[in-house]
């Protein structure tokens, strides 16, 4: 970790968004994670995405459980709301918060331990309910905070730092999320912000449950030879399927030339996609699952926007909740009294 503060001074030519803020205004405390941790890159990508979307920081709520990943909300959006809860229980916090105040943007940060082990039941029910949040798993396949045991997303045969091979098959959270009906599912890589930032922007503006599984190498315990979640391994085996195109990046040459395809989404806006490996339709759930299986067999890691349901589940719609955040309702509406309760009870008799 670094003891020195990041100086507040910034480049005088740093762009400002419509709110008059620079990207630096979206930062948090300096990270205490290991130098080179993928999680820090994801935090930086989130900062960029929130800046790009011109989100007022105080209209964002950050939620997390336990683990290296769960620490990261301290390191971005210092001016946002935050709740660091119990291990694996981030989805419960998010569900409650989203129900109480639908006007905030919810960012849930979790890890492979927090989600695929202790919090797996929470994860699947949040998907099932269609809680409107960005659910980010910073997936490094290892328990970094307890010094490098395999997590439930570690690939079978992947080697620990000590050379031990993992005997168990992994839980693929992406497949699980698509299978359970998550409206927005993508996989990113902390080492590729050109892909990750547009994914985050799309996820943050998706009206429903948006899941991003972000491969994030643990530089201390899982970045060695034999690991399948190291920087070099991911770079060698990554196959970008459907990357969202950065509007800004189109005018630069940093992108290899590729075919551009636009997809209409239900709110009328359009998503621009860059086709890389094959012609792919992210609106087709069966095709998505098929694609994942084909590439898994080849030992490849598929990244990009894998699935986007134009009409995904949304908890508020399902429950027919009020449009107004609960803190803005007056007392009479919030607590309509015994007569109203009697009416409801009568309906259930």
- List of residues contacting other proteins (CB under 8 A): 1-14, 24, 30, 34-38, 40-41, 43-44, 190-191, 193, 217, 219, 223, 231-232, 235, 252-254
Q: Residue 179 CB, nearest distance to other proteins (Å)?
A: 32
Q: CB-wise, 110 or 223, nearer to other proteins?
A: 223
47 Cβ contact list (under 8 Å, min separation 6): 23, 26, 27, 76, 77
Residue 62: strand pairing partners = 82, 107
Q: CB-wise, 172 or 238, nearer to other proteins?
A: 238
In which region does residue 87 sit, left (phi positive, over 0), alpha (psi from -120 to 50) or beta (all else)? beta
Of 208, 213, 211, 210, nearest to 130 by C-alpha is 208
Q: CB-wise, 43 or 151, nearer to other proteins?
A: 43
Residue 135: strand pairing partners = 108, 211
- Compute CA distances 28 → 57, 94, 166, 264, 294, whole Å: 11, 21, 36, 35, 40
278 Cβ contact list (under 8 Å, min separation 6): 241
Q: CB-wise, 166 or 190, nearer to other proteins?
A: 190
Q: Residue 30 CB, nearest distance to other proteins (Å)?
A: 8
Q: Residue 11 CB, nearest distance to other proteins (Å)?
A: 5
Helices (H) and strands (E) in the chain, counts: 12, 12
Q: CB-wise, 5 or 330, nearer to other proteins?
A: 5
Torsion of CA 126, 221, 158, 179, to 10 degrees: 10
Q: Residue 293 CB, nearest distance to other proteins (Å)?
A: 27
CA distance 182 to 10: 39
Q: Residue 39 CB, nearest distance to other proteins (Å)?
A: 10
Q: Residue 251 CB, nearest distance to other proteins (Å)?
A: 9
Q: CB-wise, 92 or 139, nearer to other proteins?
A: 139
């Amino acid at each position: 970790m670094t003891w020195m503060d990041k100086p507040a001074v910034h480049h005088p030519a740093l762009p400002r968004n419509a709110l008059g803020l620079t990207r630096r205004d979206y930062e948090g405390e300096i990270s205490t994670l290991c130098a080179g941790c993928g999680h820090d890159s994801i935090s930086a990508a989130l900062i960029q995405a929130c800046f790009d979307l011109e989100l007022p920081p105080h209209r964002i709520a950050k939620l997390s459980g336990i683990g290296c990943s769960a620490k990261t909300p301290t390191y971005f959006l210092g001016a946002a709301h935050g709740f660091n809860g119990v291990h694996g229980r981030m989805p419960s916090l998010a569900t409650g918060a989203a129900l109480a105040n639908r006007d905030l943007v919810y960012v849930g940060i979790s890890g492979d331990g927090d989600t695929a082990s202790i919090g797996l039941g929470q994860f699947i029910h949040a998907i099932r309910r269609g809680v409107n949040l960005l659910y980010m798993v910073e997936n490094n396949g290892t328990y970094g905070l307890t010094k490098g045991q395999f997590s439930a997303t570690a690939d079978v045969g992947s080697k620990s730092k000590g050379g031990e091979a993992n005997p168990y098959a992994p839980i693929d959270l992406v497949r699980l999320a698509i299978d359970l009906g998550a409206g927005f599912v993508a996989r990113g890589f902390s080492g590729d912000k050109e892909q990750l930032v547009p994914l985050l922007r799309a996820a943050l503006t998706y009206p429903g449950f948006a899941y991003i599984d972000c491969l994030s190498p643990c530089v201390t315990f899982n970045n060695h030879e034999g690991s399948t979640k190291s920087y070099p391994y991911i770079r060698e085996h990554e196959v970008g399927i459907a990357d969202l195109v950065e509007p800004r990046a189109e005018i630069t040459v940093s992108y290899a030339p590729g075919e551009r395809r636009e997809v209409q989404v239900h709110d009328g806006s359009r998503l621009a996609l860059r086709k890389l490996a094959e012609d792919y339709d992210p609106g087709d759930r069966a095709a998505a699952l098929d694609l994942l299986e084909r590439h898994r067999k080849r030992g490849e890691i598929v990244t990009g926007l894998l699935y986007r349901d134009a009409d995904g589940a949304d908890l508020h719609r399902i429950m027919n909740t009020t449009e107004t955040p609960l803190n803005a309702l007056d007392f009479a509406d919030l607590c309509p009294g015994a007569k109203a309760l009697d009416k409801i009870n009568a309906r259930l008799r």
